[in-house]
Chain A
Amino acid sequence: MDFWFILGVILKMSFILGVALLLYAPVFVLFERRQSAMFQDRLGPYMGGVKMPPFVIENIPLLQMGGYASAAGAGATALLALVMCFLGESEEPGLWLLPISWGTLLILAALGAPAQAVGAMVLPHLFYHDRLTLFGGLHALFDAVKAFTKEDIIPPKADKFLFGIAPIIAMIPAFALGAVLPFGPDLHLDYLFDQLPNEGVIDGPMTHLQVASLNVGILYMFAVGGTGVIAAAIAGYSSDNKFALLGGIRAASQMVSYEVTLGLSLVGCFMLYDTLRLEEMVVWQAENTFLGFLPAWGIFYQPLAFVLFFFASIAEYKRVPFDAPEGESEIVAGYFLEYSSGKWLMFMIAEFLEVAISSMLIAVIFFGGWDVPGLGRSGWEAFGYHFDLTGTNWEFLSDVANSHLFVTVVSIVAFLGKALLLGILSLQVRWTLPRFRYDQIMQLCWKLFLPLSLLNVFVTGILILLFQ
């Protein structure tokens, strides 16, 4: 337990929670609100924002022009660098006495030009009238601030201790689940800028991009995720409200039932990957291929399990059409009916965090986690050809593209992107589907999902035996 280890753990924890809290939660909220605004021809979440001084607002067109101009300059530089690379002058340019090679300049300028152009393009959209809103992203933040400053009402006959502790319990699984999610390949700190070999053990300091590499992996997720039901049950029980009680009972029975499907639908995956560790699941998916050309992602091997798991996880975080525990038109708001202010916000944050975490989990198990097709530890390769330009003027391109750091960053971004898309997909169903009735949810679980997940285990077992 040295200092660096603890620092690494803290950094990784901050990363995964930061992504979930500061990226996914606002994006999901924003997405939902934007969609609802689009439907209803409303403005959308643009009222929350930081008021900017007038000269900033007035000079936005000027800034935009500047952005376009510098993008054009960078484009010209890139062209010049490209020409120089063609002419074979990849050595240090004499021009401007810049101590970098034409190749590096090409990369910097070629990346910088579109970045500046896009920046200039979106610049006016970051503002709404005289406020900085960041596409409405700040609205979620202001909502949170607003919620915390509201009056915190506790019903007089409520059980004060349980009433207060329920939202805290709701937050625990949402935060703790992030611990075992691998968000990137192993990072070898000594070779950040080098190209790694594709096989073999690499010595030197190394860190898993994962807070805790547990040998029980996925079982930990179920164990911790299962505690979420306690929060809902306690909240419903302690609120001294019959609607809340009904909501709590519905939430408890629904979550407990779907835990079973959630677990059983993954058994096929355990059998296939032969491990419980999430990071090894990703490695298995990255190393194999499906039918020779597709990546060996879980969704191709276990499509039924994916469907079951996806819908069971929607039921698990109680969103439409499985939102009977909240059922706003029948039991008003269900188990958190009596909650206000920050406590209510904690339930909402927990809900959005659960969406984020389960999207990440689905990405890890069924979509290869951080695996990008054609990107291995040693860099880019496809159909047996490795992206390697050694010996040409373009050597620097493959050097950068195949460097360990670049590969890692691309992998992490790919993982986050997959999870984001999955999360948005699960939010998308909200607007069209009617809500299930509570007993229909149960029937769906025990009479359809559970037999199907058992069937999936059975068929997977037979297939594995046949093809081994």
Chain B
Amino acid sequence: METNYEELDEDGQLELPAEPMRLNMGPSHPAMHGTIRMVLDLDGETIVDVDIQPGYLHRGFEKSCERGSWNQVYPYVDRLNYVSPMLNNVGFSLAVEKLAGLKVPERCTWYRMILGELARISDHLTCNSASLMELGAFTPFLWCIKTRDYVWDVLEQETGARLTHSFGRIGGMAKPPTDLFKEHTLAVLPQVEEAMAETEQLVLRNRIFLDRMQGIGKLRPERALALGVTGPILRSTGVDYDVRKANPYMFYKDVDFDVPVGHDGDNYDRFMVRFEEVRQSIRIIRQCVEKMPDSGTVNIDDVRYVFPEKQDVYDTIEATIAHFKIVMEGVKVPPGEVYSFTEGGNGELGFFIVSDGTGTPYRVRVRPPSFLNLQACREMLVGDMIPDIVPTFGSINMIGGECDR
């Protein structure tokens, strides 16, 4: 690390020449999620420089994907982002379907949108409330996590799992929506709104909270764009880039929603953008529930990609063969390569996939929003103080699984 102390002297920041203190923060540190190490150079409490070292949660995701069938990738994408796994499921499905040129039934698309937005709600609730808890305000965390559990109740009812759903399939979903899906989804939305309103009531007029969040961890829009930052962090700087609006996929162009933007790019803006996005997600879900047909299949009618009906497997030789081939050889995606990108919980979640025509992915490359967002973390932190690491790093919402892969 090169620091010119004479310059600091002229600024009047450092009266005596002194060496900065080097402090290793993490990976075993409460604020570092156990997956990040920060090497800080400190002048008193002020951060002179910081070296952010991810990689402690590297599990070889991309390589692991190359040894199973296409549908066996779903459990891995679940574990990429473990606070909004459904968005990753949907993102991967869309990528493979783009390569295979499949068009899923309308009902499936609406279903995916609703489940994805529910996952986004749970993501943003977790991020915001955990940031608050790390600041010391414990109550909002419990409110929001309780509400997140209600959201998960709906997801569990649909998918059978609260966290790692593995629910997406190529050309559809694992199961059609349950009978009470719409009612339960609509019932959980007011709970989310209430929890957010309560949280905002508690913190938004709190001087301590504002002092800790406003003007801390600032990021300028041009730097954010240069560093490849996307998602709520980019929007908090004032750039209204949202994949759902900019490159609408699924039926996002048919629903009415706004893209909330901040203007300072500080922690407070990120906090507010996330909560506002939850409100927009609620809006989207309400419209989707209205438009989603009550009956119809969610899977495409193509036995090369989707299992045939179980009864047909027993009754007809064609279905038996199709079933056998999918189980033994896997779904055969036509050769080629494609990049498909969706709006994940933390930003643009891209899948670059290459297929060689066998039943196994040749290459699955993820563009993880967290990893690119983390690049901006150094610029946000330098010049702030040690306590500012907590809200800044919290508001980046670094998800270890996705960042380190």
Contact = CB atoms under 8 A, between A and B. Distances in A.
Interface of A: 36, 39-40, 242-243, 246, 320-321, 323-324, 327-332, 430-440
A436 B31 contact: no
B45 A332 contact: no
Given A40-B142, A246-B45, A434 B385 contact: no
B30 interface: yes
Given A329-B390, A331-B386, A435 B135 contact: yes
Interface in B169-227: 202-203, 206, 208-209, 211-212
6 contacts: A39-B142, A243-B23, A323-B136, A332-B30, A431-B139, A435-B208
Contacts of B134: 329
A36 B141 CA distance: 12
A439 B30 CA distance: 22
B45 A438 contact: yes
Contacts of A332: 29-30
B30 A436 contact: no
A436 B29 contact: no
B146 to A, nearest CB: 9
A437 B30 contact: no
B116 to A, nearest CB: 29
B136 A440 contact: no
Contacts of B8: none
A324 B387 contact: yes
A329 B30 contact: yes
Contact of A438 (B30, B139, B387, B389): B387
A432 B137 contact: yes
A435 B136 contact: yes
A461 B118 CA distance: 62
Given A242-B21, A439-B45, A329 B385 contact: no
B138 interface: yes
A437 B203 contact: no
Given A246-B45, A434-B206, 20 more contacts: A242-B21, A243-B23, A246-B386, A320-B136, A323-B136, A327-B387, A329-B30, A329-B135, A329-B136, A331-B386, A332-B29, A431-B137, A433-B137, A434-B136, A435-B212, A435-B387, A436-B208, A437-B385, A437-B388, A438-B387
B268 to A, nearest CB: 12
Interface in B95-136: 132-136
A324 B208 CA distance: 13
A246 B47 CA distance: 13
A290 to B, nearest CB: 31
Given A433-B136, A439-B385, A328 B45 contact: no
A440 to B, nearest CB: 6
A330 B139 contact: no
B212 A437 contact: yes
Nearest to B146: A41
Contacts of B386: 246, 330-331, 438
B214 to A, nearest CB: 12
A242 B138 contact: no
Q: Which 6 A-B pairs have the closest CB atoms?
A: A435-B136, A434-B135, A329-B134, A434-B137, A437-B387, A434-B136
A440 B384 CA distance: 13
Contacts of B203: 434
Contact of B208 (A40, A242, A327, A434): A434
Which residue, of B134, B138, B206, B209, has the highest number of chain A Cβ atoms within 10 A? Answer: B138
B132 to A, nearest CB: 7
Contacts of A323: 136
Given A39-B142, A434-B135, A330 B212 contact: no
Contacts of B209: 434
Nearest to A333: B30
Contacts of A438: 45, 385-387
Contacts of A439: 45, 385
Interface in B134-174: 134-139, 142
Interface in B360-405: 385-390
B396 to A, nearest CB: 15
Contacts of B208: 321, 433-436, 440
B272 to A, nearest CB: 16
A39 B139 contact: yes
A321 B385 contact: no
A435 B137 CA distance: 7
